Amino acid sequence: MRNFVLLLLCMTTFSVSGQEVNDQSTMDVEEGLKWVEDIDWTRFEEKSKTSPQQLMLGEILLNANKYALTTWWEKRGFSGTASGDYLDLKGTLEHKIRPVAAEAEALATSLRMGLYDPSVTGVPVEEAETKTIQMIRSLAHSHKANSIDGWGRKWQSALWAGYSSFAAWMMWDKLDDQDRLEVLAMIYDECEWVMDNKGLLGIKTYRNLNGEIVSLGDTGAEENAWDSLVLTVACAMMPDHPEYSKWMNKMVFLNLNALARPSDLASRKKYNGKPLKEWLVGTNINEDGTIVNHHFIHPDYMTSPFEFNPIKFFWLAQKPAPQAMKRNIDLVFHAFTELEFHEGDSITGGVVKSPGGTIYKPGSGDIFYPLGTDWGEGRRMNFVSFNSTVAAFSNDNEIKKEAGEWLLKHGEVVLEMQSRFEDGHTYLDESEDSYPSREEWVADKATTAYIFETLKLLGRPKFTNKRF
């Protein structure tokens, strides 16, 4: 298997997972690793610049770190595994892989950006680092590219691989060559799967090019965005890789389709070398910025495509991100803050509940779900992360300011929820959020928002509209 991994990393077309390769086919380890560019972490050593948003996000993320290293580690059954051994992830489905990957990236972010504080978590830096690396190694090793019966190459796995590879990239200098090779094998394998399966006929759209609803009640907004995640990490991590242009074009294609609305089908404004209309195979959001998922207009899924926004990877790498990644941010923000839902009105999925109004409730951290919600009304971190994205990338200074204020309102709710528990977790139980991996979901959203709020203190992101 090791020979297979070495070969896989030195080719730009990839073999079938598990194929036997003889010794004459292997190439030097360095050949497979030469494409990776390290993140410059020295930028984060200066801590004199802060903001209320960054300090709040740091507190939320540290609480999530504390939970991950203590209660969560025990609940996952990891405490009995020696630090040098692979963790038993106990399966290959979403709630066996995604939550571990989310906690790995959350801890890696905290450790590498100078946030991690053992006086808060109660766990020494060395132990936190060891556990983070152990999660990364185990995620990569258990992928199909490295284990015959592993996870991957399926619905949502590009997202899990994106989380895992981002965590690995952040801890790159702490991994040995074998671990690095297995990480890259995972990345290549998932990139290949996305390239092969997410073409013109392989992605989901809510409406087709004729404006007809073809995926009743189930937008493809978040799925297209998450399918692009591993491609984004690969591009930011390996900007000189021979597959870079192909990966970038597919990533732009998926993200533009994720957040396209019906009027975009007529737009000739160019994005990364082509008019917008030529990128699109359908649309996934409504003209007013709302998104339909689970068969109703669903505020949680209005934030979802932005949760997988790829800009943070390029910003960390100090590389320009595609201009296309900022599209329709203001539109969806306005749908949260200005779009009025009137009690008793019929909208997609049902009748607006009492008391009506806007989704963001003025003067508070409350969220109004016009038709209710099937996850739970305790969710706030998705809105915190979305507000951070808007505050970072909107072209309107007033919207930036407003989004930063909403971040503080929604973030305060999260801190109040976390303050109820000694170990730093967020939810009382599934009545507040029924998603099985809800705590790890919080850690992931806190990761994105903390990165954005910290990078904002150091300068502005760069964008490019060139053809790849």
Per-residue pLDDT at 417 exceeds 50: yes
**Count of helix runs (H) and strand runs (E) in the chain:** 19, 8
49-75 pLDDT tens trace: 999 999 999 999 999 999 999 999 999
Mean pLDDT of 343-359: 97
Angle subtended at Cα 330 by Cα 284 and Cα 273, rounded to the nearest 5 degrees: 65
Q: How confident is the model at residue 397 (pLDDT cuts 50, 70, 90)?
A: very high
303-316 pLDDT tens trace: 999 988 889 999 99
Is there a contact between 278 and 209 (Cβ–Cβ < 8 Å)?
no
- Cα separation, 77 vs 100, in Å, equals 12
Tell me which amino acid residue 208 is. Answer: N
The HSE-up count of residue 386 (CA atoms within 13 Å, CB side) is: 27
Q: How many CB atoms lie within 10 A of CB 75?
A: 11
Is there a contact between 98 and 440 (Cβ–Cβ < 8 Å)?
yes
420-444 pLDDT tens trace: 999 999 999 999 999 999 999 999 9
Is there a contact between 320 and 343 (Cβ–Cβ < 8 Å)?
no
CB pairs under 8 A, 24+ apart, for 90-98? 92/142, 92/149, 92/150, 92/151, 92/152, 93/151, 94/156, 94/160, 94/437, 95/436, 95/437, 96/151, 97/139, 97/142, 97/151, 97/157, 97/160, 98/156, 98/159, 98/160, 98/163, 98/437, 98/440
Q: How confident is the model at residue 21 (pLDDT cuts 50, 70, 90)?
A: very low
DSSP E strand stretches across 202-354: 270-271, 274-275, 292-293, 296-297, 321-322, 346-347, 350-351
Q: Is 435 exposed, middle or buried, given 0-12, 13-18 or 19+ CB atoms closer than 10 A? A: middle
- Helix, coil or strand: residue 252: helix
- Cα separation, 462 vs 188, in Å, equals 26
- Cα separation, 405 vs 387, in Å, equals 9
236-288 pLDDT tens trace: 999 999 999 999 999 999 999 999 999 999 999 999 999 999 999 999 999 99
Q: Is 196 exposed, middle or buried, given 0-12, 13-18 or 19+ CB atoms closer than 10 A? A: exposed
28-51 pLDDT tens trace: 446 678 999 999 999 999 888 999
- Token pair 């020979």 is found at 3
Q: What is the maximum span of the chain, computed from C-alpha positions, in angstroms?
A: 72
pTM, 2 dp: 0.94
Q: Give the pLDDT of residue 30.
A: 62
154-208 pLDDT tens trace: 999 999 999 999 999 999 999 999 999 999 999 999 999 999 999 888 899 999 9
368 has which bridge partners?
A: none
- Give the N- to C-terminal CA distance of the chain in Å, as an integer: 34
- Cα separation, 258 vs 261, in Å, equals 9
